[in-house]
Structure 1
Amino acid sequence: MSAVLSASPAQPAGSPHPAGDDGKFRRGVGKYRQLLILFGVFGALVFSLLALNFYASFRSAQVNTAYQLANRQHENLQRIARALLELDAMRVAGAAWKAETLAELRTAANAFQVSQATLRGGGIAPGADGKPITLEAVASPRGRDLEDRIDALWKPWSIRIAPLLRDDFTSAQLAEALAWSQANHIALLSTAGDLAVETQLDGVAQAAELRRLQTGGVVAALVLFVLILLTFLQRLRVAQETGDLAREELREILVNVREGLVMVMPDYRLGARMSRSAHGMFGRTLHADDDFFSQLSHLVGEKLRHDARDYVKLLFTAHVQDSQLTGQNPLHAIEVTARTRGGYTARRHLSFAFHRIFIDGVVNHLLVTIQDTTARMELERKLQDERQRSQKDFSMLLKAFDADPAMLRQFVQRAEACLLEVNDLLGSVSSVNGEAAMSRMLDRAVRRTHELMRDASQLGLESFSTQAQQFEAELQRIQLSGADLATREVDIQNLPMPLQDLLTKVAAIKSLTSSQRVMAAAAPAESLNDTLAAVVQEAAAASNKQVDAIIRMGSHSDLEGESRHLVREIAIQLARNAVAHGIETPPVRDSAGKGARGVVDIQLTRGETDWVLSVRDDGAGVTASVIKQRLIELGWYSAPQLESFDERQIVGHIFKPGFSTADAGSATVHAGRGVGLDVVQANVQRLGGRMTLSSQPGISTEFRIRFAA
């Protein structure tokens, strides 16, 4: 309800007034005293919000610095352990101690000692911009507990490292320090990592509290602003003359206004004057003395009409204040079905606003304003969709910023090449070239898009991988549609091509790589063991399975060039395949007498003349009968045709493009699109290796890839 018009009696003649300018000033101040007080409170609230924002920025810098300091503890521990291993290698080789190794050990030990003291007792540390910033000691109970655990592990180690910080240490002292490192380094690293996480969680909690305070302040400011506005409007309403109200009905109803305007009398009947637009808003011709709620019957249901009647009844009660009715209008925003001029039905959004018209302290009638808010609601929906899309893109950029710089640069290079290749492939598709050429081009486009989706998923770029997955699904739909060449060509031309959008995302990610180059030199390379463990757990979570991963890929770092990349790609894809198609769900495993948790074992070993990559799972195994049935379902063969195939030939189809045992509706990022083992086989060929498959139905499946050293 937006307005209350009142008529106040005229002031009797001869009533006293303050004389002169001083009297006018006092009258002006008295007249607007309430507004001045509200403006003063509003200004004070805005100032408080600015101060709170400054404090929030200061706390954010503190939290960020504390988090970075905790992370540097983790790095310094790794530097210490690496230096001890290098010194031990020199001892074994009988070589002299390298000065740079000793310097690295001393620098890392001193740096850890300083950062530990700062986090534990507070102090000054360099901020993100290099400027010193005062840090408070870790205050959370868990943080203090983690600090105590770090001290308990670090102090004995620092005592054993102390002799190594001098030039006259002995091999026995080195062996003692190294033995302590090997026994306690992992626990210390884990505890330091937990401290970094706890520091970040503590910062998040503080930031959330500050956001709540800021939100409360903003809400209070908005309430004050609305109060100021309502007070000002009330002053305007009071200033209107009683004589103007007698002609209000004629001035309120305008013939050409876009809004629908009607008057509702105390008996709920329509007044004689109404705007032309009102008929269109109601979707029928209105007449004076029509019952307002009867005209609403084809727009809203019985329950809403009943609520509207109760609300209008309150509006006609003079002693009920506007503040008591705020937010109670049931017709403020409604969705209705209306017929267009062409006879079609369309959904519209309408907003009814009720304005009380007072004469001599009594509500004479209600002025009802009806607005078609369809365009505004559609705009709000689009803005919300765009906001969500921007949030996803922003989250993707944050993920990219946290990714390994080398992997991110490699992804950018491959993504650009892949997108441009897909664009060229689809641009060259023509029915003139024949069935085989179109199939090859579509198959290549599907493969390249799948590779792009997989690479983005590995880096956690959800927005990118989701868009690539959707585009891949569209390509596969055309590929498997069975339509004639001309129809498929038209379908390709009508595809909603996201290539430009994906290239834009790649460009945004590319801009991050330059800022990561400085950090990349100091940061350790991502462990393939960790990556594979994460892939296994993500695939398990996506398929509601429980899986333990045994991963031994440490020698992967000895590979060079393309071989290193190909082995990584093969291992990741086979790990996904093992979880998605091999490991059973816990109920199935229980019924088969297995434990609820499956096991995926991945290892890379080096022999004298060759390398062997093995990926083994203790799942359901590869069953020829299941593959045979799936080939029939896909329409690749008939049952009589498959009778001439032996089991080896049938199982070999799992490496064919487009084959998957998963249903089309259950395809995910991890499996179900028929471009998994096909890609693995292609990568094995590029590696110059040979792949073998051994399986025991109901027991295990193992893929072994052997390639030259």
Structure 2
Amino acid sequence: MARRITFNSAAIARYSGLIKSILLFLLLVIAVLVFNIYTSYLIERNAAQVAATQQLRGLTQTITRDLYDLKLSQGEDIRSPHIQSTVERLSKSKESFSKILLAFKQSGDISNAEGDTFSVNALSAANKTHLDIIDTQWTLLNGKLDQYLKVATNLRAPVLILDQAVDSAQGASIAIYNSSNAIVTAVDAASHKQATLIRYLQMGAISVAVLYFIVFMLYFVRRLTNSDAQANEARRETTEILDTVKTGLFLLDEDLMIGHQYSKELEGIIGHREIGGRNFTDILESMISDEDMTTTRGFIKQLYNPKVKERLIADLNPLSRIETSVDDLSGYQRTRFLDFQFSRVYSGRDIIRVLVNVADITDTVRLEQRLMQERENNDLQIDMLTTILNTDALLINDFISTVNQHNVTINNVLKAGGTSQSDLHGKLKQIFREIHSVKGIASSLNLFAFTNVSNAFEDKIKALQAEPNLSGDDFLPLAVSLDELIKLTQIIDQLNQRISPSSAAQHAAEPTQAPRKAMAQKLQQFAQDLAKRQYKQVRVTTQDLEQTTSIPAIDNAIRDIAIQILRNAVVHGIETPSLRSTKKKNPMGHVQIQLQQTENQAQLIIEDDGQGINYEAIRERAIAIGLYSAKEIAAWDNRKLLGLLFSSGFSTYGQTDEDAGRGVGLDLVKDRVQKLGGKIGIHSQPNQFTRFSFTFPLNP
């Protein structure tokens, strides 16, 4: 792209000495040329005067010779060719002499012997005396010639007229000849003087030019030497600056070509060597997407648009704080955060370049992330502290112990062997049950950090369950999530030990004592929180829930099942207040939880007065998700349809959120009951109630 050259006052001031010197030299050359032209004109004029004078002198001799010739030819027939030609030549010579003499007086054009016409200037005052002599002699001679020429063709003309003309020519020719010689000498002397002056002037001009050139060279060589020294010093300082700054600096033209000078740090920041002269897009193609590349080109184009204010488009910078993979120049790819900042470079009012400043802000971003993480951890600890302070200490201790058990179980499942697809999917189901149990307990205690981690954990499991082919490496993200859950458990354990060290020690010594009473209260609060999120109203009543069976596994199962079934009752069973009103029900739903014990068994009964089990909805959901065709499931009875509710991954809830939709709640319940040799009973009436009963043997 051609660049427009601009001049400003600073540039003119910088080169004023050079400009003045060149102008002075040009004036000197022009003066010499003008003088040469003028002197040449004078010499040419003098040469014309000399030629005219010589012609005048020759005419004098010609006239005198012709008169003598005519005198010697007296008696000859005047009509003879000799007489005729002599008289004609005499007449022409007389006319030419008069023209030359007139030109000497007042300038004019004359013709030479060859017929060529040239201009003759009047003689100078220095030759006036000689011109007067010639004029006087010619006047006398011209009169005699006129008299003779009038009778030259007359046979009876007196001979005396010719004799008088001859005598006059004889006397005038000497005077005219001498005066002509004097004029020629004077004009030659003037010409010689002028030629000498030109020669001296040329020699002087050449000497002055040579001297001026020497002075000019010495002066400007010194100036150039000083400028080069300053430029080298500036270049050295620039190099030192560019080698010292810890950011990447370079110039970018409108064609996105990078300048040849850039900071040393730039190569290390962007992972490219020999950057100068390369196109900016070649550097960026491995860092950003094609869409961002297009945006970057448009952004830089706007920077070169003088109508667009730079500060107005600064926020549109597409290369601000980008995350990218950069080669560290030793063959390793590293993730870095780079920040590109663009500034216009002006020359006068013209935008000539864009200065790009590239900073590696990886440490800053990492620090921000660390601070944010610490802030989140602090907020997390505050939330946990609030929960610990507002929750029964034994309940918190029981939660920590239970989650630790689940963590160990999940870890063992992850480490267990098995490479077949059925084994891998089985491991996913088992992990899903464990983490869903953790989420249920955490949700009942309002430990939202555990709830969020569990939700993320479940999302990863759901994603893996959707994969047709699994491998052991696919479980690595689950190990990361487990590690996060373990760290979270350690945090709440440490906080709990600081706040209630005695209760923690007591629970460690007597781990079988489940805090039933506190758990009953938490279930009621859990139901209220669920109902609020579902825009429902619910009341929970419990009976004998504070009893324990002295069998920790059964006590834990009763707790987990109570949480899961209560969740299902609120989410799936209890209707919204408006819908309950249309059914002539109390707008507030009711859930009853009762624990009955005999010598041989414990029975947990949970009943809600909601809409009952919708068997048709189960059938439609199975068809919708492709488990069975409409033909296959059409003949199923209610008992068989209930079996679907307890299968892993099946849910009639239309969406997945914190409260439902995972399809693992009842699967978890079935797993807990089966492992303890228990039984499940279900009784439901449409629009009236649903009752779950879980029976566990106490003497297995």
Q: Which has the larger radius of gyration?
A: 2
TM-score by length of 1: 0.49
